[in-house]
Chains A and B, each alone.
Chain A
């Protein structure tokens, strides 16, 4: 199964779909910073990949917090590709975001 999955990724690497959801609570400075940071990272590291960023304002849709088990704000959720990953904070530490998104596996090497 795992092998099949891998193959799948390799075969359709260009078409690999990324789904990202950024949870915020109103237009706070932290939210704005997080969104700006996310955009920057996506442009730089997800170039050529198909990705979709959805910003969810919990002040508007509080019922959506339960689905992704949101406690901290801001939270970035990568629902695709699997597994689900979550990054909390304003995403100001790019290294940690990359680790969180599994775009870099060994943060220590980068140092």
Chain B
């Protein structure tokens, strides 16, 4: 038996409200077949909460309902929720809903003696039976205290009423106006012990913020935080901070940054899909251009992009980007790109979050750009705005959307320190910086982090050209990276040096050529001398040999004439022949 009751305790039956976010934080809705008190100050959304609980009960969970209205008439209620797309008249015609307006005019009522609230009980019972209701709303029952007087009787009668509702097995929502220092004016929270929900509507920095808190929920685990909620054209929605977890699918797919040389710095492939990319930098560093180039690349791939701009109007962005050669208008025309431009100060953080959620759900983009996220700090504290971002980032990751965020940093503040509160959410973080030197400002970019991939450690200078962002070659000087003119000067220096070397080499070659020519000329001259000498020598030799021949002929003639001296002249002839052989 004990085991069964423990089990019952654990599996307390609940009635889903169908209110976006509420069922998540309450672990399944309101306690079934028990009364729940919803209290809050005037205009905090009590009636709407109660009405949505009923309408969703009818339309989504097939649980007919009864609305006992102490403040508004049926017509007023019908009109009020018609703007949210609920047609109460239809539901009444379908016998799914009863609205009973109870109005008691204090002026026409006199009390004499004891009474009870059987009239109310009978009306309730009658209404419940009429549609076989499973859900009941009493809005706002405390009106009875003002109308009927005699608090003593009323208290005991209300106590009886709540017990009666329990016995009837209906899930009831009772609304109560917030009193001074108490949850309700007449302390009816004492009688509703199962579940108490407080709605709060406060103004901070001239901005309204609605918050919901489950004060008590007997027998169940529930979120105890204050949850921001919204009332807009689609009704009541609670934003559960904790309902989004960290269990989302990760993608190995890569998306190009749209800047080829930046992709090169990221393993040549760009960012991971469904990751969160932050580009931070001070004013005028080209963050929006980097974002636009990313969008442009995505649209070229046929992906849908949603661009939230919190600083510039759509027209302004399109015009500015056209000047750097990025034609966003074409993508807008093709409905691949949608802009949503809104000043951060227009709504509260919660409203921003909700409208962004809604637009993302409606367009279902692959890429979401937010430019810049920093401005949210204006409307909320840093903690608030980073809570907003966490929720948004998780939401985008769950949907597999690649988020591209920019943030504005002040020049004086250390960037890493300024954004420590959001950096942990970011998968990739690019920093763009102005470097001031030699009387000019130049832009550099580097990757501060990029989870899950090898990435360049280089500081790269980039230029904003008519063809978008162009990363240029890095020049390293003695004091670090050279940018702008210094880079150009360095480049020129190097070119000059090159030229000088070239010229020196050419000169040397020329000299060598000349030398070669001179030497060859000398060789030619010497050869000529030699030739002349050779010729002279030949001439002499010829003359000599002719002389010898002549001399021999003379000797022969003498010898012939003088036979006695013949032996002497033979020796002489031998000598001349010996000389001739040596040559």
A positions within 8 Å CB-CB of B = 23, 25, 30, 33-34, 37, 58-59, 62-63, 65-66, 69-75, 83-94, 96-97, 99-100
Contacts and interface: CB of A to CB of B under 8 A. Distances in A.
B577 to A, nearest CB: 170
Interface in B76-130: 100, 102-104, 108-123, 125-126
A30 B110 CA distance: 17
Interface of B: 100, 102-104, 108-123, 125-126, 144, 148
A30 B116 contact: yes
Contact of A69 (B103, B112, B117, B118): B103
Contacts of B118: 25, 58, 72-73
A25 B112 contact: no
A63 B122 CA distance: 9
Contact of A65 (B111, B115, B126, B148): B126
A34 to B, nearest CB: 8
Kindly list the 4 A-B residue pairs having the minimum CB-CB distance in the complex, ordered from nearest.
A100-B110, A89-B113, A92-B113, A73-B118
A58 B122 contact: yes
Contacts of B115: 30, 72-75, 88-90
A58 B127 CA distance: 13
B123 A70 contact: yes
B424 to A, nearest CB: 58
Given A63-B126, A69-B103, A85 B119 contact: no
A19 to B, nearest CB: 15
Given A58-B118, A71-B117, A72-B148, A100 B112 contact: yes
Given A63-B126, A72-B117, A88 B108 contact: no
Interface centre among A59, A72, A83 (most CB of B within 10 A): A72
Contacts of B121: 25
B99 to A, nearest CB: 11
Contact of A71 (B108, B110, B114, B119): B119
Contact of B112 (A58, A62, A87): A87
A70 to B, nearest CB: 4
B111 A96 contact: yes
B119 A25 contact: yes
Contact of A59 (B110, B112, B117, B122): B122
A66 B123 contact: yes
28 contacts: A25-B118, A25-B119, A25-B121, A30-B114, A30-B115, A58-B118, A62-B125, A63-B126, A65-B123, A70-B119, A71-B102, A71-B104, A72-B115, A73-B119, A74-B115, A75-B119, A84-B108, A87-B112, A88-B109, A88-B112, A88-B148, A90-B112, A90-B113, A90-B114, A91-B112, A93-B112, A96-B112, A97-B112
Contacts of B125: 62
B148 to A, nearest CB: 6
B110 A87 contact: yes
B270 to A, nearest CB: 69
B149 to A, nearest CB: 9
Contacts of B109: 86-88
Nearest to B68: A71
A69 B104 contact: yes
Contacts of B116: 30, 72-73
Contacts of B117: 71-73
A92 B114 CA distance: 8
Nearest to A86: B109
Contacts of A97: 110, 112
A90 B126 CA distance: 24
A65 B119 contact: yes
Contacts of B120: 71-72
A32 to B, nearest CB: 13
A34 B111 CA distance: 12
A90 B116 CA distance: 10
A88 B110 contact: yes
Nearest to A59: B122
A83 B114 contact: no
A110 to B, nearest CB: 14
Contact of B102 (A58, A69, A87): A69
Contacts of B100: 66
A100 B106 CA distance: 12
Contact of B110 (A37, A63, A73, A99): A99
Contacts of B114: 30, 89-90, 92
B208 to A, nearest CB: 35
A69 B115 CA distance: 15
A87 to B, nearest CB: 5
Nearest to A92: B113
Contacts of A34: 113
Contacts of A23: 119
Contacts of B103: 69
A85 B110 contact: yes
Interface centre among A58, A94, A96 (most CB of B within 10 A): A58
Contacts of A66: 100, 123
A62 B118 CA distance: 11
Contacts of A93: 112-113
B110 A86 contact: yes
A99 B117 CA distance: 22
Nearest to B125: A62
Given A33-B113, A37-B113, A100-B110, 15 more contacts: A25-B122, A30-B115, A65-B119, A65-B126, A70-B119, A71-B104, A71-B120, A72-B115, A72-B117, A72-B148, A73-B118, A74-B115, A90-B115, A91-B112, A99-B110
